[in-house]
Structure 1
């Protein structure tokens, strides 16, 4: 019976591992971004907005360059005909039934007040505006997913640091317990070591909770539901070889080429075209037209099959002029004010982008310095704990020295992780600002 227990336990472990592996999806940062690009609602709506704008460009070409073709058919029944008395005799004019079919062809002439090409340019600008909006949403989604991914990595490594602290506290507790049982350590040292070990447990619980929450946040951003758990690949790593250019060049690049700036510049072009359209509304609109007409007028005593149809073809030039000039002047003023508003917003956006860029770059520089400092501090803290343990065993150091060294090591490791995390988040924000 005992011989069967080991294989059964092994099989159960393998089955459990297989089920957990199947239930958990392990993803890389690149995969997380790809999933978000496929599933994010804001990104999907931005793509649809762009599709609408592209369709409107085609519509603008059709409405402004292609002639308008219109078919009109009508049937008229005359119930009371006009009567004229001639020499005492009443004579009726007209017919009982009239049928009219008209085909009208009209084409605006792009001169004077006819805004043919302005309408097309406005539609094309709106398409570019939606392209930039898609770029903005896409870069924002990438930044959010990247930050959420790094948050999961950070939470995992914080949990590992707390687990290491628990292991160190447990090892120290065993040493103190042995010394206490042997009459070497005091009861105070024994109780202090035990309390220190148990005080780490809440930190582990909090770290586990933070890890679960960070994973749920990442799942939401990439469009996954909560039925399948996920895990991420990698560690928080600082690459000291990364170079983004000088501070001045980065700031100027962001201020001049950020997607928000590009959107406002396009909006300003749209405003200028709208002003041009309103200014041209003072002028008459010209169009050429053609008319083909097929008509028939018969009385009731004529069968439908015997109706005689007559056709005619004509053409000409039409002129329409809106003489309400006061209303047009107000429209021009409104468009000019809106254009000034856009320029004010553009200047304000550039100022805010400059401040944001400086802040992000300063945060990156600060994180770099902390990374360098804390990395060295971790080495020193590890050596300090090692010496404190040796000294305590030899009776040179006290239990307080060991506990202080353990606390210092844990805090230093957390500070190091926090510095790397802050750098990576600031880097993702800088990349969003620089996104093309």
Structure 2
């Protein structure tokens, strides 16, 4: 009985000590984009920058609101304060007589008011802050598009490599069987050593390619996890197919002029640059406003007392208050304002040049993508025909080999040709999907 219980305990321990198999997380492209919207750290930083711009707008707007402050002070004088009076006021013959006045304990409290009435600089800087807030909002949307491009491209990369890996593994298994046949024929004296060596080289090359692809898939999976903000140590199982939506994508050809019109309406980075130009123009206006007068309302309410003791019930608290207008007119600043205006004009000109350059860059990028897209569609049609021909050739060669009319070398060549044709077809599919994604991004239509 004890022996049976010991065996049961050992079996449970062995089962419990087995490493748990890594769970796979099924992930479609749409799910990956949704996860990136919430988990991408670069996007989180930009969202915080957007909130920061909102706070900067509030700070700038506060310059037009009342500034109310209060203060209190206590001072102890070891020697009484001195004032200087004409001698006849103090009852002496001196022209100027110093007189010690006041108490040794001095208390002072006040409330002051400053309300801008006319402040062109603050008003225009507030408008500039609002423009900067819009810029950050557009930057957030532009970053979302860039993250969507990165996630989509990486997702398609992994799909492509996994399909290639499957083809190469199948080819590797077939070539291993071919190598065994070649060695068997060589041992029987019915084959050539060169055929065996060629089969061995093909097997090793395929084994190297399989290992290389596995490593690349692992690295790309890590990068995809980083982009979507997935920190769990799970293996990703991509559920989409490389062929998804391929027929629809092929029918979306646009002319460059049509594409440019769409891009100018939807591109967030173009909106950012236009707002940057507007921002610099507003800053130029604010710099010019430094030459204008400022008008403010000022006021203060003050109480104070002095005595040699701290018997507060005997203190007298005289009050002083006023309310008035303060006008400030800039007259001369050593040419500083003029220099700042010139600098602001130069920056505005730079932003205009950047805007025009960005439009030219978008036009060139669109022309390049549309041209490649049309070529990729043609290549896909060619590769479909090539795969069909390679399959037919492989079938015919295999039949010849089975009937003793062809050699193992011919069959190996036909098999390699078929594998390469299928890989070329996958590459054409991949190119079309990636170019369509890049086109959507360039048009400003790719979003998280």
Shorter-chain TM-score above 0.5: yes
Given that residues 271 and 335 in structure 1 are in contact (C-alpha distance below 8 angstroms), is that contact kept between their aligned partners in structure 2?
yes
1:339 equivalent to 2:348? Answer yes
- Alignment partners' CA distance in 2, 1:16 and 1:98: 81
| Cα offset, 1:208, TM superposition | 2.1
302, 308, 314: which one pairs with 1:300?
Answer: 308
Counterpart in the other structure of 1:130: 136
- Alignment partners' CA distance in 1, 2:19 and 2:110: 76
1:95 equivalent to 2:102? Answer yes
TM-score with structure 1 setting the length: 0.86
1:82 equivalent to 2:86? Answer no
> Equivalent residues in 2 for 1:22-421 (5 A)?
22-64=22-64, 66-78=65-77, 79-80=79-80, 81-82=82-83, 86-88=90-92, 92=99, 94-96=101-103, 97-110=105-118, 114-170=120-176, 186-187=191-192, 191=196, 194-195=199-200, 196-197=202-203, 199-225=205-231, 227-237=233-243, 239-242=246-249, 243-244=251-252, 246-247=254-255, 248-255=257-264, 257-296=266-305, 298-300=306-308, 303-325=311-333, 326-421=335-430
Secondary structure of the 2:301 match is: strand
Name stretches of at least 5 consecutive residues in structure 2 with no aligned partner: 1-11
Question: Kindly tell me: are residues 220 and 302 of structure 1, through their superposed partners in 2, closer, same or farther at Cα, counting changes over 3 Å?
Answer: closer
| Cα offset, 1:47, TM superposition | 0.8
How many residues get paired?
418
Name stretches of at least 5 consecutive residues in structure 1 with no aligned partner: 1-10
| Cα offset, 1:19, TM superposition | 3.5
- Alignment partners' CA distance in 2, 1:116 and 1:310: 37
Q: 1:156-210 CA distances to partner (integer Å, 9 max, x unpaired)? A: 1001111222344356567777888898x64469626743445432222222222
Secondary structure of the 1:140 match is: helix
| Cα offset, 1:348, TM superposition | 1.2
| Cα offset, 1:53, TM superposition | 0.7
Question: Kindly tell me: are residues 428 and 101 of structure 1, through their superposed partners in 2, closer, same or farther at Cα, counting changes over 3 Å?
Answer: same
Given that residues 195 and 409 in structure 2 are in contact (C-alpha distance below 8 angstroms), is that contact kept between their aligned partners in structure 1?
no
Question: Kindly tell me: are residues 302 and 188 of structure 1, through their superposed partners in 2, closer, same or farther at Cα, counting changes over 3 Å?
Answer: closer
| Cα offset, 1:409, TM superposition | 0.6
TM-score with structure 2 setting the length: 0.83
